[in-house]
Amino acid sequence: MLADLPESSTEADASVVRVLSYNIRSMRDDVGALARVIRACAPDVVCVQEAPRFFRWRKAAARLARASGLVYVTGGATASGPMILSTLRPHVERTEDVLLPRTPGLHQRGLATAVLRFGRARLGVVSCHLSIRDEERYAQGRLLLSRLAALGVPHGVVAGDLNDRPDGRTFGLLAGELQDGWAVKPWGREHTTRLGDPLQRIDAVFATAGVEVLGCGVPMGLPGVSEADLRAATDHLPVLAALRVPAEPA
């Protein structure tokens, strides 16, 4: 049952953290439906892609955070689209927005990164949206792994729109270094393209070794997540993961 995905919790030796990855298409669709989906997923952290990044983008980010019961952490225009939101549960230790090298004629891409602390558990978080061009995307994947390592924490999560499928070389690069949440503990629906579009898994949540994946997938059928809202909210489906993050030594 989808409702069996573990809820957030903190124990002496670990914290269960719910991470949601969601491409929101610059909030050009039904923001009410988008917020209802996010709330129903009850995430601790939301890694957003295609956040508003032009005129009054900060107001749009604040609007989404408020409607979803979350707070803005980092990203948006400053990361060229990726953004991180969270509940008040984690302590934000630090953030950094990174612009990636740009190929002329293609969109600027970036990473939103943060180190969040849940009790004694610390988690590096990277929200990404990679290139549509294979060569550039692969280079971005290598830079993403370097940035994750540079966060300097033992446990991390990468979530985003890869514009690549599991048989692609960039997806394979990340899955070779990190745990692919769906492959480790499939839960819910696999494919992340809009309902009715060709079936593809191009959005994913990855975790470093040592993080236990308790479940990961598209929350189709989760109480409060309606098909109508998923269709109205944006052109991607969200990916929800529950992760058990070990505590650091006292």
pLDDT at 12: 83
pLDDT at 50: 97
pTM above 0.85, yes or no: yes
pLDDT above 90 covers a percentage of the chain that reads 92
Average pLDDT over residues 200-222: 97
Catalogue all structural domains in the chain, each as residue range(s) with its CATH number: 2-246 (3.60.10.10)
Radius of gyration of the chain (CA): 16
Q: Are 212 and 244 in contact (CB under 8 A)?
A: yes
- Which amino acid does the sequence have at 133? R
CA distance 65 to 73: 10
- Each residue of 34-49: pLDDT tens digit? 999 999 999 999 999 9
Q: Has residue 53 got a pLDDT over 60?
A: yes
Closest CA to 225 of 51, 5, 52, 71: 5
Average pLDDT over residues 128-147: 98
CA distance 216 to 234: 20
Q: What is the mean pLDDT of the chain?
A: 96
pLDDT band at 2 (very low <50, low <70, confident <90, very high): low
Surface-to-core class of residue 158, CB atoms within 10 Å of its CB (0-12 exposed, 13-18 middle, 19+ buried): buried
CA distance 117 to 89: 9
Sign of CA dihedral 33, 191, 160, 56: negative
Surface-to-core class of residue 29, CB atoms within 10 Å of its CB (0-12 exposed, 13-18 middle, 19+ buried): middle
Closest CA to 129 of 115, 142, 141, 114: 141
Q: Show Cβ contacts of residue 143 under 8 Å, excluding neighbours closer than 6 positions.
A: 100, 101
Closest CA to 49 of 132, 130, 103: 130
pLDDT at 1: 42
Q: Has residue 237 got a pLDDT over 90?
A: yes
**Joined tokens for residue 176:** 């070779």
